[in-house]
Structure 1
Amino acid sequence: MKDCLKRNNYISGVWFGAALAILIALPLVISRSWLSITTEILILSVAACGLNLLIGYCGRVNFGPAGLYAVGAYATGLFLEKTNIPFGAAMLAGPVMAGIISFPIGWFCVRCTSHYFALLSLAFGQIIWAAIHSWYSFTGGDDGIAGIRAPDFLMSITSYYYFTLVIVIICLVLLWMISHSSLGKTLQAIRENQHRAEFIGINSKRYLLIAFIVQGFFLGVAGSLYCGFSHAIFPVYASFLKGNDILIPCILGGIYNFTGPIVGVTVYIILTKIISAYTMYWLLFLALIIIFVVLFLRGGIVGFISERLSAIEEKRGIRGDIEGRESY
């Protein structure tokens, strides 16, 4: 058992090192447009992995993730536009503000069952969108705010890509540690059977609220990064459609695997860019692909691959046992 765990950790480490090496070298081999797309993938990966802490580990669906994503973006953008605080402090203010806003929203949501949890989260997301869209004197209303300043050393796409890469790696490591900690195990226990978890003394509402705040913080990180990337903030960041851009990749990649949302984001954005370049009906084709994954790849892309690999390893193990018995 220990040897198996060591082997799995070794393989995971090799894959992580290879992926990191590729990401570091990527600006040397791809065009600026594809580097921009890769930066978007990195930013959305943080949002999707943060949201998946709630969906995959708690079994609760948040239909309003874009609201907290927009809180992070607007907090950073407004601090940079209306104050003279340093860029780093403004970037930190985004996720902190998103985490603070997540507390009252989560407090109400965790007191509902799973279905009403989802509906209430959607309602709060729309409230945030309405506030941003209507508050012209502060948020700029539907015009948004453009021309948000950033430090000179982050003005080039290459420098901002490396800046984003560092932040994303830190966030993903933190999320991995959380998901594999006692908190993550407790959340999984609540997901499997909330009543049994409460019977053994787990305060499910408290842990669900913690998970909601944590996912809000990382949604805010993604929003802040995108604000610095686009140098603008708009109400569409809080829209239901933007929420789909965060939620759908989790389903595509697989919600029961840590790397699922990352793979889902990569596939989702690349498919969106490629299909939209050839047809105006790209949303239809994208929807058909998503339907196929939901119907035939129940565990998502990563879940399907993991099942196939497990089946192959199991067959090899059985074959090895048979050969060993025959030789004996």
Structure 2
Amino acid sequence: MSGQWIVGVDLGGTTTKLAFINMDGEILHKWEIPTDNSNEGQNITINIANAIDDKLGECNERKTKLAGIGMGAPGPINYETGVVLNVVNLGWQDNFPLQESLHSLTGLPVAIENDANCAALGEMWNGAGKGASDLVCVTLGTGVGGGVIANGNIVRGINGAAGEIGHITSIPFGGAPCNCGKSGCLETIASATGIVRLAESELSKPESKGQLAVVFAKNGKVTAKDVFDNARNGDELAKKILNEVTFHLGFALANIANTLNPEMIVLGGGVSRAGDILLDGVKANFSQFTFSAARESTKLSLATLGNDAGVIGAAWLIKNKLNL
């Protein structure tokens, strides 16, 4: 068994990441394919199965080299059955039997989990949270996702929707609408999309000035990276936006720490690449709102696996399921 590989799959709305991973959580081969969500998403698992076969051929390996497939997918998932309960951007109908579909096409054991949970498992197995069995992972990307690990196990909740940190209410009244149907969610503030929305709201004011305003005037838009870069250079408007983001993120994470008392909270996703300017502000607010026992025991850090966290965590799923 030790010489076998695991297939890790991280299914996204536009791109699917795949990797062959060894039993130590190390990536041996990784590649990407487009996610074809046409025809009610019927091509997605077919394309994944074909991509695995093609890569095995390139590596001159037989399918017996593979122990199984672990896969992260967006949305709430029934882990026991591998059914995706509902997802908005892949074309699937509600209650899509993802595990069964992929198993029937490949003949391999398959384990399915929410993609943010997989990122958390990846960071626990071989990333920033290595060695920690109580861990919260927050992914700050286009949206805000979360994975909660307690005593080494993913906390899924009654229907697989636990860890939806992005939908903690941050602005109870008058907040921006969220894709989930609520308003004022953390996702509307701390995601890349939310940061841009905050910036454009500030920049639309006639009195806005400074370097970020110059970027906006020149390009007609700004990015989350523009906000962080200009805040780092002392731009007052960019710093104001950053302070709002880190306040709400630190406040939400403090309440999570007060509830769960994890050993670590790991920040990942594209927004986390801002680095210390984000982390330092979050830590300051986190410290202010955290109960003393949790404040002293919970460490905040940046994820280390980047875009590889999802495939590594997905591989851990099958290793754990099969007791490899």
TM interval, short-chain normalised: under 0.3
Q: Which protein is richer in strand relative to its size?
A: 2
Report the TM-score when normalising by structure 2. Answer: 0.26
Structure number having the greater helix percentage:
1
Normalised TM-score (structure 1): 0.26
Instruction: Pick 1 or 2: higher relative contact order, CA cutoff 8 A, min separation 6.
Output: 1
